[in-house]
Amino acid sequence: MDFSDTKEEAEFRAEVRAFIDANAPHYLNEHLQKSGFGNTNTGEYDALEEAKKWQKTKAENGWACLMWPTEYGGRGATPIQNVIWSQEEGIYSRLSGTFIIGQGMCAPTMMAYASEGQKQEYLPKLASGEHVWCQMFSEPHGGSDLAGLRTRAEKDGDEWVINGQKIWTSGAQHSDYGILITRTDPTVAKHKGLTMFFIDMKSEGIEVVPIKQANGNSEFNEVYFDNLRVPDENRLGEVGEGWRVSITTLMNERMAIGGGISTGFPEIYELVQSVQINGKPAVEDANVKSKLADWYVKSSGLKNNASRMITAVSRGEMPGPENSIGKLVAGNMMQDIAKFALDLQGQGGALVDPEVAEGSARFQAMLLRSPAVRIEGGTDQILRNIIGERVLGLPEDMRADKGIPFNEIPTGS
Amino acid sequence: MNFDFSDDQKLLADQVKRFLDENCSTAVVRQALEGEARFVPEVWDGLAAMGLTGTAIPEQYGGTGAGYLELCLVAQQVGAHLAPVPFGSTVYLVAEALLRYGTDAQKQMWLPGISNGSVKGAFAVVETMQQVAPDQISTAFSDGVLNGSKLVVSDGNVADLYVVLAQDGLYLAEGGNLKATPVDSVDLTRDTAAIEFNNTASELLTNDPWSALNALYDRAAVLYAFEQLGGAQSALDMAVGYAQERFAFGRAIGSFQAIKHMLADMYTAMKLAENNCYYAAWALANDAPELPLAAATARVGATQAFQLCSRDNVQVHGGMGFTWEFDCHLYYRRSNYLALELGALSEWEARLVDALPLQASA
């Protein structure tokens, strides 16, 4: 066991630091540090504009999408170099939220299934932040049961005509392109009739409608397709192979989103040192210590899990389904921490005014946002199924739709 | 970064596993459960013959000097097999106390015996039905002898050598000049004694007993955490195996989400503990300044994981899990015994928080 850099790694780290010192938007530091859960705080500056600017600076100097081949706008870096980059990019990575889905999920899918010409056309602009991409999988009738999706694609000459609706699409409102999974054959079993495309989000026949969420914000959208026409060359993978293609995307989701996951521990630990119980800092209270210890075990367990994952990746192994523990643990923990942080502030904890509530009301924001963390990108229950079936080898759930043609599956409506 | 055990270390763990698979099945553990002595000498002798009691003892004192990373993996296997032997008391506590506080003469006298298995140790601390604190300790040393009594001493009947907490120091006492009485604990597969010291000849190890106790507990906590981790993994494996085989309502019960999700939560607790144990192993092997925090984190997480996995292993087995014949109670007993050895969970939670730096990033 050894946590230190090799000579080559140390040299690479020094190179990264020099670039960041010279080029990062240091004027945003104070705001970025205050970024909360799902919000990139850029103060008086426009968040999307600043994100694109930093991405462009990185790309121009060869520091965007490090692991991609250079011909697609990357650096051809090793996995461990990529890890070093993320460690050093630090708070500036909070500007990258806009690009995570495009670069982390759409791009690997394009690399695996698009033509060489398409890769050269689209990937460099995705790396440089010129184009934003989104991913359109979930539907009102296909969430946890993703393969139950209903958006239809029908062949018409060299084109496909698409009708239907997607939901929970992050960033669709400022996306230039997106990948879209559709049903092309409803007469076969549900996983077999799916086909994947990438589409121009500025096309006619697409309407993006923001969703007003339970916490009052709008990070997600509904996307409606009304006779959207997509050329056949935009198909990713064979007709009917969409499920297999989507696995590529979702496997990369684990890499893209599962990495440095927030748990709320540093925030609650700061709070218990300042807020008091009976005239003493809350951290001295035995009940508080017990909760803190439990949360620290979890956050430190996830951090050490990441170190083990990095070790595995540096040996050329892929992160496996066991990493599903990350979001399962962090989502629940964040919700518990938010509730406890409000509790420590008494009835005043109910206030959401950032001028009044501790830390710009970050715990109140966390309380109201955290239910979504336990749903997005795989619910707690789906994650437990993945651990149970793919890690522990338990038999799969009983399914009423197995082997039945999609259009004969009971829908309850 | 290389956050993993080496191939050689894993090979050693595999050898220990194979020895214990063959020689320390739960049928053997049951000899301690049902028999007079809560100790199986053949398992102890076998571990000693492989040089494992001297894993972290330098060669000059008869050990193999392999190191603490290796010892962590040995501990994991000892825990996984519920070995009814005084491995922790002897190796993680008494040998460590000698290595840290003993004179060279004391080391020469005792460490070779520990390394070859002829000396077994016990660590005598607790005197009352309360968490350990200075005002709870009455055992006193004067004129070369100890007087006092200890309420609960793991491996106190089989031990040849005792490290004893007294009011003003940690002392080394030989067996023979003291009275050890077997007592039953929640874990009937572990030897446990009440001990009386009556003018027992003793030698000083250190006259700063509380900081010594803390330092020794930090080190031992890592190793016991690996035992707890091993136990958690075995209990989880047993539960998963049963959920795959046992049918109800025409299906394997592991296909029901109520069972599947319980098993997923057990796995998650085990995995968090494993990750924290690995980090603590690094801190122990490198005597890192992070050791107190890393040890407490490993200890708290491994205690939680073993208690959860052993508890819900019973639940997965249903009524059969509550029979004497099924092994579920062996894990349940051991998890609750280990949770108290070295101090209770709430004490370790406090140690963890007290060890956090003012700004904690994890």
Q: Identify the closest residue of chain B to A303 by CA–CA distance.
A: B362
Q: How far off is chain A from B205, nearest CA to CA, in Å?
A: 32
Which residues in B lie closer than 8 A to residue A294 (C-beta atoms)? 300, 304, 349
Q: How far off is chain B from A237, nearest CA to CA, in Å?
A: 33
Which of the 8 DSSP states describes residue B1?
-
Contact B254 A394 (CB under 8 A): yes
Mark whether B26 and B144 lie in a shared domain. Answer: no
Give CA–CA dist B19/B12, Å, rounded: 11
Structural domains in chain A?
7-127 (1.10.540.10), 133-249 (2.40.110.10), 259-378 (1.20.140.10)
- Put simply, whether B271 touches A (Cβ < 8 Å) is yes
In a domain, B145, yes or no: yes
Contact A1 B300 (CB under 8 A): no
Choose among A307, A284, A372, A296: nearest CA to A337: A296
Q: At A153, which helix (H) or strand (E)?
A: strand A152-156
Residue B362 is predicted with a pLDDT of 59
* Residue B129 belongs to domain with CATH number: 2.40.110.10
Q: ipTM, 2 decimals?
A: 0.96
Torsion of Cα atoms, A363 then A366 then A370 then A373, to 10° = -130
Residue A37 is predicted with a pLDDT of 63
Q: How far off is chain A from B29, nearest CA to CA, in Å?
A: 26
Contact B1 A296 (CB under 8 A): no
C-beta separation of A171 from A98 below 8 A: yes
Q: How many domains does chain B have?
A: 3
Mark whether B145 and B204 lie in a shared domain. Answer: yes
* Nearest-CB residue to B251 (from A5, A314, A398): A398
Residue A256 is predicted with a pLDDT of 47
Mark whether B230 and B350 lie in a shared domain. Answer: yes
In a domain, B50, yes or no: yes
The DSSP secondary structure of A339-389, one letter per residue, reads HHHHHHTGGGGG---TTTSHHHHHHHHHHHHHHHHTTTTS-HHHHHHHIII
Pair type for strands A194-200 and A152-156: unpaired
Q: How far off is chain B from A329, nearest CA to CA, in Å?
A: 8
Q: How far off is chain A from B186, nearest CA to CA, in Å?
A: 24
In a domain, B100, yes or no: no
Mark whether B169 and B281 lie in a shared domain. Answer: no
Contact B267 A398 (CB under 8 A): no
Per DSSP (E only), the strands in B84-229 are: 121-124, 140-142, 145-154, 161-166, 169-174, 178-182, 192-206
* Residue B303 belongs to domain with CATH number: 1.20.140.10
Give CA–CA dist A43/A359, Å, rounded: 15
In a domain, B311, yes or no: yes
| Per-residue model confidence as pLDDT tens digits over A14-57 | 999 999 999 999 999 988 887 766 678 888 999 999 999 999 99
* Nearest-CB residue to A301 (from B252, B301, B359): B301
Contact B252 A395 (CB under 8 A): yes
Mark whether B226 and B196 lie in a shared domain. Answer: no
| Per-residue model confidence as pLDDT tens digits over B177-229 | 899 999 999 999 999 999 999 999 999 999 999 999 999 999 999 999 999 99
What is the average pLDDT value for chain A, to the nearest integer? 92
pTM above 0.80, yes or no: yes
In a domain, B140, yes or no: yes
**For residue A64, what pLDDT band results from cuts at 50, 70 and 90?**
very high
Give CA–CA dist A194/A190, Å, rounded: 8
Give CA–CA dist A308/A314, Å, rounded: 10
If one counts every other C-beta atom within 10 angstroms of the C-beta of residue A315, the result is 11
**What is residue A182's three-state secondary structure?**
strand
Domain assignment of residue B156, given as a range: 121-208
The angle at the Cα of A249, spanning A246 to A253, to the nearest 5 degrees, equals: 135
C-beta separation of A31 from A39 below 8 A: no
Mark whether B75 and B198 lie in a shared domain. Answer: no
Mark whether B159 and B234 lie in a shared domain. Answer: no
**Number of helical (H) and strand (E) elements in chain B, helices listed first:** 12, 9
**What is residue A200's three-state secondary structure?**
strand
* Nearest-CB residue to B297 (from A297, A305, A394): A297
Residues B262-289, mean pLDDT to the nearest whole number: 97
| Per-residue model confidence as pLDDT tens digits over A315-335 | 878 778 888 899 999 999 999
- Mutation for testing the A interface, residue in B349, B359, B361 having most A CBs under 10 Å: B349
Mark whether B204 and B215 lie in a shared domain. Answer: no
Least confidently predicted of A255-259, A277-281, B161-165: A255-259
Residues A297-307, mean pLDDT to the nearest whole number: 93
* Nearest-CB residue to B360 (from A266, A304, A314): A266
Which residues in B lie closer than 8 A to residue A398 (C-beta atoms)? 251, 255
Whose tokens are 């007087």? That residue is: B147
C-beta separation of A355 from A363 below 8 A: no
Whose tokens are 């890393």? That residue is: B294
> Given a cut of 90, is residue B108 above it in pLDDT?
yes
Interface of A with B in 290-309 (CB under 8 A): 290, 292-294, 296-305, 307-308
Residue A257 is predicted with a pLDDT of 42
Mark whether B269 and B303 lie in a shared domain. Answer: yes
Q: How far off is chain A from B74, nearest CA to CA, in Å?
A: 17
Question: Which residues lie closer than 8 Å to A317 by C-beta, 6 or more apart?
Answer: none
Mark whether B232 and B243 lie in a shared domain. Answer: yes
Mark whether B313 and B280 lie in a shared domain. Answer: yes
| Per-residue model confidence as pLDDT tens digits over B305-361 | 999 999 999 999 999 999 999 999 999 999 999 999 999 999 999 999 999 988 776
**For residue A151, what pLDDT band results from cuts at 50, 70 and 90?**
very high
Bridge partners, residue B80, by sequence: none
Tokens of B62: 């008869």
Last residue of a domain, one of B167, B185, B208: B208
C-beta separation of A299 from A306 below 8 A: no
In a domain, B154, yes or no: yes
In a domain, B49, yes or no: yes
| Per-residue model confidence as pLDDT tens digits over A371-390 | 999 999 899 999 999 999 99
Last residue of a domain, one of B159, B184, B208: B208
**What is residue A25's three-state secondary structure?**
coil
> What percent of chain B has a predicted confidence (pLDDT) above 70?
99
Between B359 and A294, where is the model more confident? A294
Mark whether B193 and B328 lie in a shared domain. Answer: no
